[in-house]
Amino acid sequence: MQNEQKKYYVVTQNAIPEVLLKVVEVKRLLEGKNPPSVMEATDQVGISRSSFYKYKDDIFEFHENVRGKTITFLIEMRDEPGLLSDVLMIVAKSRANILTIHQSIPVSGMASTSISVQVMPETGDVTEMMDQIDAMDGVKSLRILGAE
């Protein structure tokens, strides 16, 4: 058997097959206060137990595996006074540690900003933080460049 190195990918929910999303849902159910059995949870979401066991160690929600890591994301945003400050306020409220900020000179009213944050043990849900930034008026797009 070859010694293969694992590769990791960051994809959006739209690119993930439904069976994998259901595996994540089963994992969520099993982590609840009164967790059902694996059989009950898989029946509830509509997948087989074999599918769950086949993929359970290979898919996880982004925020489950980022504690103690550095995440770098790129934001395309309008060049408006206070917009970057509002973005940074969301990061601060999420209790992530800002390591670097780099903003390009705006071109045609748009600026590219890369932000690296350290996800601390007390940091809130990273996915929620990024969703809040992405939903801001003036933010055209947000994408993850890397996590280390």
Average pLDDT, the chain: 86
Whether 139 has a pLDDT exceeding 80, the answer reads yes
Domains and CATH numbers, the chain: 13-60 (no CATH), 65-147 (3.30.70.260)
Per residue in 22-66, pLDDT (tens digit) is 998 898 888 777 889 999 999 999 999 999 999 887 887 665 555
User: Tokens at residue 140, please?
Assistant: 């055209």
Query: How many residues are recorded in the chain?
Result: 148
Give residue-wise pLDDT tens across range 98-127: 999 999 999 999 999 999 999 887 888 888
- In 3-state terms the chain splits into helix, strand, coil percentages (rounded to 5) of 35, 25, 40
Q: Enter the pTM of the model.
A: 0.59
Whether 31 and 63 have beta carbons less than 8 Å apart is answered as no
